Structure 1
Amino acid sequence: MLRKRATIATDPVAFEAFYRRHVDAVTRFLARRVNDPHDVADLVAEVFVAVLDSGRTYRAELGSEIAWLYGIARKTISAERRRAFKQHRLTDRVSGRRPLDTDDLARLEERIDAERHARQALEAMAGLPDGERAVLELVVLDRLTVAEAALALGIRQGAAKVRLHRARRTLRSLPFVMDGASG
């Protein structure tokens, strides 16, 4: 499998198959965290460009492809938010968006609407410490195992379990908190 991953950066057919296998999951992940369909489309593209640049870093023995992709997506969102903040400080509006056709826009708006409840859950988790919130998001909203969440965050599995326990204890009155993988 590791050899297969290395080829996605150099083999267009392998990359296309990888893209088709995971584009919906990555789009859902981003639509839960971003309200603007243009931004979702741009971030999806950035995630897969990053895959091309870092295809050699995937290690199958450490976790699933989707956990690896969610880690890339989290870093992509963070980088975009830092960039937007810097640009916002310099200008009143962000420019340079590429136009989406009507079908693309409609699909992304449907996806964003479908993820409305997940965004509400993210808002409820906003008061948690960053590490606890990140593990809870990946396990409850993105349906990763604790081991996969640890991989996506670059932390040890034991640390992820502790953070998940603390987050669930803090938010135990919310029904969604106990959903998701436990191990």
Structure 2
Amino acid sequence: MENKDRDDSGLWSRSLAGEGEAFGVLFDRHRDRVFRRAYRLSGNRHDAEDILSASFLELWRRRSKVRLVEASVLPWLLVTTTNVARNSRRAAFRYSKLLGSLPRGEVVGINRSDTSCAEDAADIEAALALGSLNPTDMRLVSLVVFEEYSLAAAAAILHITPGAAKTRMHRARRRMRSAIAEGASPNSGAITEGNLS
């Protein structure tokens, strides 16, 4: 390795010039530290790998704004990793909150002490509910529920009126309830049953 590559500044300059190999060297140099930070923050390997990938993607995506600290990109990466992990936890919480807000039927054939089966059932219900929406309504629900935008802000992002957004949200909730209820019917072969309101 050349002297100029002992710190990150030379590699970073070459990366900004479009040299993929230089960015690859930066990745190899810092991935273990970033992964350890991600693992400490997330608590499991799978999430840590996702956070690692997202952090380096952000590094590339925001490359024109990245500032090296003492000729190293690592401090920027570690701060970004912390932010990505925090956002990941928030998204998981919002997802759980959405699942908890959906009406539920009685779970059939699942031992309630078996957490993984119950989580699978909840995921199937969520997939049924979200799969019933058209792309615009799914984006609207995602913005309001997962990203915590106000209905008016989500409407502006989607270039629809606030009134249309309110109507779409109301109809989306109805369609999601209906999809879960249909999935619960005895003829559907799904794993839930019961009258969902």
The structure with the larger Rg is: 2
Alignment TM-score, normalising by the size of structure 1: 0.45
